[in-house]
Amino acid sequence: MRLIAGFDAGQTHTSCRLALVGEGQSSHVGRVIGEGEGPGVCHLAAPEGPGRFGAALRESLVRARAHLVDARQPAGTAVLVAAAVGASGIEQGTAVQGQGRALAAAALGLAPERLVVTGDERTALRGAFGDGAGLVVISGTGSIAVGRDGHGREHRCGGWGWLLDGAGSAMDIGRDGLALSLQMADGRLPDTPLRRTLWAALDLDPDDPGSPQRLKALVVADGFGPAGFARLAPVLDRLASAGDPQAVAVMERNAAALAALAAGVARGLDLVEPAVCPMGGALIHLEQLRRPFARSLDQVLPGSRLVTAAGDACQGALAMAAALLAGPPT
């Protein structure tokens, strides 16, 4: 079996999808025959970045191979011939992209000319629209938007890292909620169920006077980071659904930030009434984010329409990997 692999490497986990390709030179993505998940990645400039990147690709590939399903040949005969990786923090046309390609080549045992390594927003765009025009707004642990016009030009907004630019993301939703909880604790805001619920979710006693100091230490501890904040986003979503005013405000503010990303992409590409595809765990699963996002989008980008993606980021990565086989290596 000749296989291609498509990777979607985010901050919380990495997905690998394996598909068949035909004999000889082919740009066709065949049947998907295996999927697996591995750990997440972080920016390659971080001290642990290169190690985490390689481990995420290797482990997700091993797990995808373990689930290979093909009645004709044993899994051990499957040969990986090309791969594409969409990863958080990979900037198009930068030295970081070249570094990622070299790391992926070593991790996957492929020649660099049989690899594409790019930002996960680019593979998401390819999965959603193929080669057509449109834009995707992604809200997961982080947030970003990217689009393409009818001539192949692409433009992105956001995605400048969680310390600088995470508005609209699950990380920002969780962090905003915790910030409000501390303002309630020290008397700047009236107390609402938000504080008690969030602190309980972190195993902090809402009635203990020492809990604010423990919270301050918790969020800077190793292993908390963006994912630690993002895990609280579903709690904020439930609070907003129950009518907590501060939780509602958090969700609406972040929804407006996502709509602003879409509007920025549309301006950058002169897109009129574009198709907008919402993607990412937060926009898919958090109803109290998704609804105000649609309302805000109507205000800042009149005539735009929300659409369902034709495929996900792994499918987009598979299409990029298959395209490498359309001609001789370069």
pLDDT tens track for 245-300: 999 999 999 999 999 999 999 999 999 999 999 999 999 999 999 999 999 999 99
Tell whether 222 is covered by a domain. Answer: yes
Structural domain span for residue 23? 2-130+311-323
Query: Parallel, antiparallel, or unpaired for β 154-158 and 79-87?
Result: unpaired
Residues 6+ apart with CB under 8 A from 138: 120, 121, 124, 144, 145, 279, 280, 283
Instruction: Kindly state the tokens that stand for 235.
Output: 């709690």
Are both 168 and 280 inside the same structural domain?
Answer: yes
Interval 303-316: pLDDT, tens: 999 999 999 999 99
Tell whether 17 is covered by a domain. Answer: yes
Tell whether 330 is covered by a domain. Answer: no
Residue identified by tokens 């290797």 is 58
Are both 202 and 100 inside the same structural domain?
Answer: no
Tell whether 262 is covered by a domain. Answer: yes
Are both 87 and 102 inside the same structural domain?
Answer: yes
SS (H, E, C) 129-141: HCCCCEEEEEECC
Tell whether 329 is covered by a domain. Answer: no
Are both 138 and 287 inside the same structural domain?
Answer: yes
Read off the CATH number of the domain in which 179 is found.
Answer: 3.30.420.40
Are both 103 and 153 inside the same structural domain?
Answer: no
The pTM of the full predicted model, rounded to 2 decimals, is 0.87
Are both 77 and 183 inside the same structural domain?
Answer: no
Instruction: Kindly state the tokens that stand for 70.
Output: 């093909």
Are both 126 and 245 inside the same structural domain?
Answer: no
Interval 33-46: pLDDT, tens: 999 999 999 889 99
**Structural domain total, the chain:** 2
